[in-house]
Amino acid sequence: MRRRFSDEALELVAGRFKVLAEPMRLRILDALRGGEKSVSELVAETGASQANVSKHLNLLFRHRMVSRRKEGLNVYYRIADPTIFELCELVCSSLEAELEASRKALARRPART
């Protein structure tokens, strides 16, 4: 039981992944790709309720994945950690590989129509 990483380290890494393990949060992050947006803009763009968007943003903020700027009544959020998109791209390419593998597995004994 030799351990390369401490429990705490693994919890931290897992915690980061957990933040990204939610479709709605990914949608919000993607909406922020083009630059900062206010909460109501994000509500309109994602189709989620205001309370929900706010909660997700708060979580992303606590993990320093987004930062925010208050201007009058509005709060503008923006991506603070650009590695997020690298992560997503890696996952996407890995998913494509997986789908390709499934496709090949199905095609191994092709149905001759």
Partner DNA sequence: TGATTATATTTCGATATTGGAATCCAGCAA
Partner DNA sequence: TTGCTGGATTCCAATATCGAAATATAATCA
The yes or no reply on residue 92 touching a copy of itself (CB under 8 A) is: yes
CB 77 within 8 A of CB 32: yes
The yes or no reply on residue 15 touching a copy of itself (CB under 8 A) is: yes
The yes or no reply on residue 14 touching a copy of itself (CB under 8 A) is: yes
Answer with the entry of DNA, a copy of itself, none that 106 interacts with (C-beta below 5 to 8 A by kind): none
Closest separation in Å from C-beta 109 to a copy of itself: 20
Dihedral sign for Cα 55, 88, 68, 60, please: positive
**Closest listed residue to residue 39, CA positions, set 65, 81, 69:** 69
Dihedral sign for Cα 5, 10, 11, 13, please: positive
Q: Which is nearer to a copy of itself, 74 or 90 (CB)?
A: 90
Answer with the entry of a copy of itself, DNA, none that 36 interacts with (C-beta below 5 to 8 A by kind): none
Q: How far apart are CA 50 and CA 40, in angstroms?
A: 7
Judged by CB under 8 A, the stretch of 14-22, 53-61, 69-77 that binds a copy of itself is 14-22
